[in-house]
Structure formats: structure tokens, C-alpha cells
Amino acid sequence: MKTALIGLLLGLAAGLAGGVWWERHRSAPTADAQAASAEHEAPLEPMGPVRDPEAELAAAKDAIRSLSSEVAVLKGAQAAPPDPASVAATVADLRARIPELVEKKDGLGLLALMKELAGLGPEGYRDAMDIAEIFRKEFGNGNEAFGLDKVQFNKAWSGTMVPLMTWALANAADASPWFRAKSVHMLYWVSDVDAAPIFVEAMAKEQDPNVAQALAGYLARLAKPEMVGDLEAAIRQNEKRAQTFQPMVQALVDLHTPESLSALRNLQASAPGPLAAALELAVIEHSPPAPGVMVTGTQPKSQAQKVGLQKGDIIVSYDGMEVKSLDQLRKAVQAKPDKDLVPVMVNRGGTLVPVQINGSWIGIDGKYVKP
């Protein structure tokens, strides 16, 4: 009602000002009109009483100021806060409907009830989450629960569920790990929500490794240049969780900015063992000395180990041909008979190192990089 009244007042003000402007410009003769009237000697008959556009415009401005004051008062008026007892009673009434809907296997009714409870704020959050958990158990390993499939269930995680999901990530002790992980996934897909700052804040205090891993994975997808500092802090907080820090390290690599390179080097300078090794490769991948396939690992008793290939080495040519992708290198290696001795050029920290490897197999894991 308040919104409609504000709109009406603004519309009246705009109409009043517009009418005066139109009348003023309509009554003002243009140069063409003055020239045309000069060609005719007969004077124009007056069409009505003479109007004073200046006075009308001033009056319109006064009216606008008055209406604007009323609008400001209406906008500033605060709605009375809901009565806690009334909210608690509503929550209790809605909660009482859950067993009946479960017994009837009314999936649509349960989803509507979950969203209604979520819309009541923190007082209804616990029961809304309970309904979500009921669905989770009912789905089990299947794709249907209470007559609904998982797609229909997931579509309900929007609207009033957004504040609940955000609250759950900020209050880990009050929401199950499953609900928090589900919230991470669903918030990422809500188009009108900027999930990145929500995930950054949650990552700072999340203790469950599975939820932290979900947060890290989606943070990597949402990474922006302005998030470099947040990503660096999150990596430090999770430096003992390889599955958590690795996606965020990769996000810094993929940003490919001077700031992200600086963050990687800062982390590398003080990182513990496993993270230090990952960061060393990340720095090379971020700014490699040459294009080619970077070695990320060597297999036991492989030719790669026998000739001394190391993590971070970049294979720049194979049998005299420039390496342009991992797939191209793989096909070139497989095309050579295993008895053939093939020249391979490796860039190691900016220095070219020639080696010879038999065809058919090298024994490396790697990825294509380029400056």
C-alpha cells in the first residue's frame, strides 16, 4: 500500500511538471512560426485567456517540493516490527502440518511449507532445514521423493531460501554439514546473488572438510581480480587441506594478473611442504618461461625418471616439432616405435635441456602452459 501511494504521488508530481513544461513550450512561438505569421497581415484571434507560464511553473515547483516532502516521510516511516509471539505461533502452526504432509507424501506441499518457514526468518529456519533433511533422507540414492524429482526439489532453493542458506553458512553450528554443502551448491546457481563474498566469509570459519572443499571449488569458479587478497587469506587458512587449497591456488593461476602472481609467491615463501610444492608449480604455470607441456608428475620407473625429468620442466619440442598441446604430444609419442630414440627439448627454469627418450611412452603427468 505504501509503495502504491508513493508511486501515485510521484506520478502526480511528474504529470504536473510535465504539463506546465508542455504548455510553456507549446505557447512559445518558434522562429518558423514567427516567420510564417509575418507573411500574413491579418492578426490571429485570441483563443482564450492569457496564461502566465512562469507563474504556473513556479507553482508546479512548489507542488513538487510539497509532494517530495510527503514521499520522504512515507519512505522514512518504519513498519512496526512483527510481534515475536505472533511469529512463534505461526511457526508452531506450520510445524504441526509437517507430519500430515509427510504421511500424504505431498511433495509440493512440503516444499511450499519449507519456503514459508524460511520466509519467517531465524524463528522458522530450523523447521525449514528439517523439511530439507526429510527430503534428503527420502531421496536416499534415488531420484524421486514424495512424488518429486531432484530437479523440482532444487528449484525450490531460491527466493526465501536464499537468506536461510546465507545464514546457515555464517552459523555453521546451527546447520548440518549436508545443508551447508547444499547451500554452497545452490547459492552458486542463484542468478541474482553474488555468492563470492558469502563464500569468502564462510571459508574463514568453516571446519568441516567437505563443506570447505565445496566452498573452495565454487570460489575458484567465481574468482575475480579483486578477490586476490581473499583467496590468499583462504589458502593460508586451509594450507593443511590439499583438496581445499588446490582449487583456490588454481584460481590465482587462472586470474593471470601481477597481483595473483605476487600472492602465489608470497604464499610460496612461507608455505609448508605439500603446499610449497603445489605453489612452485603454480608459479611456473602462471608465468612459464616458454610454451609447452609442463611436467606435473613422473611415474615410477618411467623413462621420464631415468632421464631426470622434474616437476616444473616444460617439454617445448618432441622429435623437432614444437609442442602445442598435451594431446598433440601424446599422439606424437604414441606414433613413435618404442625402439626409436627421440630427441626432446626441455625448458627448465629458462634453460634449455636436451634429452633423448624412446618412443611410445614417456611416463609423465602434465598440462599445457604458455606465457
CA quadruple 280, 282, 284, 287: dihedral sign: negative
pLDDT, residue 40, reads: 43
- Do 104 and 71 contact (CB within 8 A), yes or no? no
Residue 122: how many other CB atoms lie within 10 Å? 12
| CATH number, span 292-369 | 2.30.42.10
Predicted pLDDT at 60? 64
Say what the pLDDT of residue 27 is. Answer: 47
Quick: pLDDT tens for 170-189.
Answer: 999 999 999 999 999 999 99
The domain ranges of the chain are 194-287, 292-369
> Furthest-apart CA pair in the chain: how many Å?
111
Q: What is the DSSP string of 287-332?
A: S-SSSEEEEEEE-TT-HHHHTT--TT-EEEEETTEEP--HHHHHHH
Band of the pLDDT at 273, cuts 50, 70, 90?
Answer: confident
> What pTM value is reported for the model?
0.70
Average pLDDT over residues 7-32: 49
